[in-house]
C-alpha cells in the first residue's frame, strides 16, 4: 500500500517519507481493516512528529494521524461481520499503535469506529474524531452546560467550531471569539449567539455585558496566553476548561483572583480521557451527524494528496488554516 511514515522525529519536510509499505494485518477479533478515503491531521499529530510527545509504542517507523474515514474491508470477526462494506469515521487510530491513517489502509479497534451516514462525505468524516471529542469533553467536564453562558475562545477553529455547535445543542448560550472578520463570520454561521473580535479593546466589557456579569464556562485553546483575561471574564463559580497549550510549560496563573471567584480549572487531554466519556461523546457525535435537518457542520481548510503530507503538516503548524487539513490517499 502507499503510505507516509517517519523513522525519527523532526521537521515535516525532513522526516516524512512517502512510498510503499506492507498492508497492515488484523491480529485479533476486535480489530477491523479500513480502506482509508480521507485522513485528518490534528495539532497533536504534528507535535508527535516533531518530537514534542509520543502516543504510540516504540517502533521502527510511525505512520501518523489519529483521525480518518473510509470503508471497512475486513474484520477480525470474519467475513460475515455486518460492519464489512460499511462507511465509517475513525478516531485514535494511532493511539497505542505505531500505524495511523496516513496510508491506503489502517487497522483499528472497532470501539474507535462509528458508521458514517451517506449524506456525510469521507472528508467531513475525517474532521470529526479528535476535535469533536475534545469539544464534547470540554463541554461536559465537571457539569453539563445547560443554561450556562459559555465562552469559546477561537470559535472558528477545529475544536472551537465544534464546541460552538455542541454547546448550543446541549442548551448553552454561546459567546465566541475570533481573530479576523472571516473567522467571526464562520463562528456566527456555526450558531454562536454573540461573536466578538479577539483583538477588540472592548472585548472584556462586551463579554460581561452579554453574559450578565461573567461567563459560567470558558473553552480555551491557549491556556497561558489568555489566563489573565479569562480570570476577569469568569463569573462566580466559573469553570475554565483548557484543551491545549503551544508549549509544555505555561506561565503561572493568578491564584487569588481565581480563588476569589471560587473558580475551577479543568485541563483535558482527549488521549487521557476515561473511556466512558469517549463512548458517550462518540454516541453524541454519531447522533449529531445523522441529523439531516440540523447537521453538524465541518470546516475543511485544505485537502492534499497523500504524497504531499509534509506540506499538509506545515500548513497545520503555520496556524493559518481555517478548519481541518486533510490528506487523501486516492
pLDDT of residue 84: 97
pLDDT tens readout for residues 219-270: 999 988 888 999 999 999 999 999 988 777 767 789 999 999 999 999 999 9
List, for residues 180-202, the tens digit of each pLDDT value.
999 999 999 999 999 999 999 99
Q: Which of 103, 108, 107 is closest to 1 using CA atoms?
A: 103
pLDDT above 80: residue 284 = yes
Residue 26 neighbours by CB distance under 10 Å = 15
**pLDDT of residue 32 exceeding 90:** yes
Predicted local distance difference test score (pLDDT) of residue 56? 67
58, pLDDT greater than 90: no
3-state secondary structure of 124: helix
What per-residue confidence (pLDDT) applies to 253? Answer: 80
pLDDT over threshold 90, residue 57: no
- CA-based nearest residue to 155, from 330, 325, 323, 317: 323
What would the pLDDT profile of 297-325 be if each residue is shown by its tens digit? 999 999 999 999 999 999 999 989 989 99
Express as a percent the part of the chain with pLDDT over 90.
88
Question: Residue 212 — pLDDT band, cuts 50, 70, 90?
Answer: very high
Report the percentage of the chain scoring pLDDT > 70. Answer: 98
Element (H, E) at 133: helix 122-140
Predicted confidence (pLDDT) at residue 101 exceeds the cutoff of 80: yes
Q: Which pTM value belongs to this model?
A: 0.95
User: pLDDT tens digits for 134-170?
Assistant: 999 999 999 999 999 999 999 999 999 999 999 999 9
Closest residue by Cα to residue 101 from 74, 126, 125, 76: 126
When pLDDT is cut at 50, 70 and 90, the band that residue 59 belongs to is: confident
Residues 4/63, Cβ–Cβ less than 8 Å:
yes
User: How far is 297 from 118, CA to CA, in rounded Å?
Assistant: 15
**Average pLDDT, whole number, for the chain?**
95
Tell me the domains of the chain and their CATH numbers: 2-129+275-328 (3.90.180.10), 142-267 (3.40.50.720)
The pLDDT assigned to 235 comes to 97
Print burial letters for 50-86: b (CB count within 10 Å at least 16), e (below 16).
eeeeebbeeeeebbbbbbbbbbbebbbbeeebeebeb
Amino acid at each position: 500500500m502507499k503510505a507516509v511514515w517517519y523513522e525519527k522525529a523532526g521537521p515535516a519536510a525532513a522526516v516524512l517519507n512517502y512510498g510503499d509499505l506492507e498492508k497492515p494485518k488484523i491480529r485479533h477479533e476486535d480489530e477491523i481493516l479500513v480502506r482509508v478515503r480521507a485522513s485528518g491531521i490534528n495539532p497533536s499529530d504534528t507535535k508527535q512528529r516533531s518530537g514534542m510527545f509520543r502516543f504510540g509504542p516504540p517502533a521502527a517507523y510511525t505512520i501518523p494521524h489519529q483521525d480518518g474515514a473510509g470503508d471497512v474491508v475486513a474484520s477480525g470477526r470474519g467475513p460475515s461481520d455486518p460492519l464489512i462494506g460499511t462507511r465509517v469515521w475513525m478516531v485514535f487510530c494511532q493511539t497505542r499503535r505505531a500505524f495511523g491513517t496516513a496510508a491506503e489502509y489502517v487497522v483499528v479497534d472497532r470501539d474507535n469506529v462509528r458508521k458514517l451516514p451517506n449524506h456525510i462525505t469521507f472528508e467531513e468524516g475525517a474532521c470529526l474524531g479528535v476535535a469533536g471529542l475534545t469539544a464534547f469533553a470540554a463541554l461536559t467536564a465537571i457539569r453539563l452546560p445547560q443554561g450556562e453562558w459559555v465562552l469559546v475562545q477561537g470559535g472558528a477553529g477545529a475544536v472551537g467550531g465544534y464546541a460552538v455547535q455542541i454547546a448550543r445543542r446541549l442548551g448553552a448560550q454561546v459567546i465566541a471569539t475570533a481573530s479576523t472578520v472571516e473567522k467571526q463570520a464562520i463562528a456566527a454561521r456555526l450558531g454562536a449567539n454573540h461573536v466578538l473580535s479577539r483583538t477588540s479593546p472592548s472585548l472584556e466589557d462586551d463579554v460581561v455585558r452579554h453574559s450578565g456579569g461573567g461567563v459560567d464556562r470558558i473553552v480555551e485553546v491557549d491556556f497561558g496566553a489568555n489566563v489573565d483575561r479569562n480570570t476577569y471574564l469568569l463569573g462566580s463559580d466559573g469553570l475554565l476548561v483548557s484543551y491545549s497549550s503551544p508549549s509544555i510549560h505555561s506561565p503561572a496563573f493568578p491564584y487569588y483572583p481565581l480563588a476569589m471567584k471560587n473558580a475551577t480549572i479543568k485541563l483535558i487531554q482527549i488521549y487521557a480521557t476515561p473511556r466512558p466519556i469517549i463512548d458517550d461523546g462518540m454516541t453524541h457525535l454519531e447522533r449529531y451527524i445523522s441529523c439531516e435537518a440540523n447537521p453538524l457542520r465541518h470546516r475543511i481548510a485544505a485537502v492534499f494528496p497523500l504524497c504531499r503530507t509534509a506540506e499538509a503538516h506545515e500548513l497545520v503548524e503555520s496556524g493559518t488554516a481555517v478548519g481541518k487539513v486533510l490528506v487523501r490517499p486516492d
